[in-house]
Copies of this chain bind each other. A is one copy, B any other.
């Protein structure tokens, strides 16, 4: 498998060097593996810190900036960052009003963020943590006890980030983040596997003519394999899987997320089918975001994330954001 890299060992450090050069508004510690808003700590603001294995870009480093994260801690590819990164990130962004850790539900991430929270508290930093576990595909998957954290992470980081930017206290930012997660569900499909630099060959084997329904963002097995389906059939399956678990009583935010190698042309066509199914099920879509946001290296496929959003969540979703990966006007 050919890759645009120097060596598998330097992939993450090389990418962080590139981020630093492309985004002077970020302070990137390449050695220490943390990406921080250059204006951190922002006076009076709760600090938002997330992180996880690399390979899901723009998540998380690409979501650092005004209105979203204050810092991100990238681990090696598909590998949790370590507590030391998280503690240093917390210290870099804490203005005295506390720090919220946003943690995707993978065993390594959960253990390391828990340890980091204790260490940061020892240093006098007030820390709250929110676990993201939106993936309805499976429980107790590879790497996970309980549901996996996937696309809802973007909703949590954006909405909690907007509240923090407005000066909300830690308790409220934490409560909002928790509410967004509880209001969100995701389901993903893979048409082709991804290849990690270290392995150099596909992380799982998907026969020609089959797709994986319910795949995880590291290629973890989903619910079942089937013969290839149309975009419309996949939308039916994915939306129904989400709606079995989340029964919205109001409008939703919709993320149609590309896994990495699926063309935007296809993602937009899939979006049309997802809208069709939601309309058939009586669900109103308030906002739609389409693109590669929570990726799995070069996996082919897509995921659907819904978040039931009241007026407050919609207002915070629409609030200005300026990050490399997600931005709209102030």
Contacts and interface: CB of A to CB of B under 8 A. Distances in A.
Contact of A327 (B21, B211, B269, B328): B328
A67 to B, nearest CB: 10
A97 to B, nearest CB: 25
A75 B286 CA distance: 30
A286 to B, nearest CB: 11
Nearest to A15: B268
Q: Which of A57, A77, A208, A330 has the most CB of B within 10 A?
A: A57
Interface string A284-319: 010011101001011011100000000000000000
Chief secondary structure at chain A's binding surface:
mixed
A187 B40 CA distance: 38
B298 A3 contact: no
Contact of A5 (B5, B15, B230, B328): B230
B292 A15 contact: no
Given A15-B265, A329-B322, A330-B329, A4 B260 contact: no
Q: Copies per complex? A: 2
B327 A231 contact: no
A244 B17 CA distance: 26
A169 interface: no
A6 B231 contact: yes
Interface in A1-42: 2-7, 10-12, 14-19, 21-23
A262 B57 contact: no
Nearest to A296: B263
A268 B209 CA distance: 33
A288 B320 contact: no
A14 B263 contact: no
Contacts of A10: 269
Q: Which of A55, A228, A261 has the most CB of B within 10 A?
A: A261
Q: Return the 4 tightest CB-CB contacts between A and B, nearest first.
A: A14-B269, A18-B268, A18-B271, A17-B272
Interface of A: 2-7, 10-12, 14-19, 21-23, 54-55, 57-58, 62, 77, 191-192, 208-209, 211, 228, 230-232, 234, 256, 260-273, 275, 285, 288-290, 292, 295, 297-298, 300-302, 320, 322, 324, 327-330
